[in-house]
Amino acid sequence: MAAFELQEVDHVAVAVRDLDTAVAWYASALGATVAHRERIESDGVEEALLKVADSYVQLLTPTRDDSPVAKFLERRGEGLHHVGFRVSDCAAALESMKSAGAAVIDERPRPGSRGTTVAFVHPKGAFGTLIELVQE
Ligand code: CO
């Protein structure tokens, strides 16, 4: 197995019903500014990344009713959705998690937002937390 480095908490993702409302609230409550905004059609989401030092808060809202984030909002309401860990090698980190018994959602790394490479790991077997591995 190739070695990799766990570099940073890349982002904490929060599912919200209205992106503009959430962006405005983070701006007034915390002075947070939008570093990046993108619609990711393949995932059925629009995101706003708020810069916090070297990490981000990722506000996520669904763009269609059948997106996983829409289902999450329906079931659980607004709130913490996943944690993104920045790693030096997404494929190596994914293999390491598989070896540790994690149930993966993505069998192999795929393109994420802002040109990153990502893979998701299921909350089952990860202490109830959806984990995203992010390689810049
Ligand atoms: Co994410």
pLDDT at 94: 97
Nearest partner of 2 among 92, 104, 129, judged by Cα: 92
> Angle CA(128)–CA(95)–CA(107) in degrees, nearest 5?
75
Instruction: Kindly give the distance from the C-alpha atom of residue 13 to the centroid of ligand 1, in angstroms, as a whole number.
Output: 6
The domains found in the chain, sorted by start residue, are: 6-135 (3.10.180.10)
Q: Which residues surround ligand 1, an ion (CB under 5 A)?
A: 13, 84, 132
pLDDT at 1: 55
Q: In angstroms, how far is CA 28 from the centroid of its own chain?
A: 23
Ramachandran sector of residue 105 (left: φ over 0; alpha: ψ -120 to 50; beta: rest): alpha
pLDDT at 15: 98
Instruction: Kindly give the distance from the C-alpha atom of residue 16 to the centroid of ligand 1, in angstroms, as a whole number.
Output: 13
Grouped pLDDT means (10 residues each) for the chain, 136 residues: 89 98 97 95 94 96 96 97 98 96 96 94 94 97
pLDDT at 42: 86
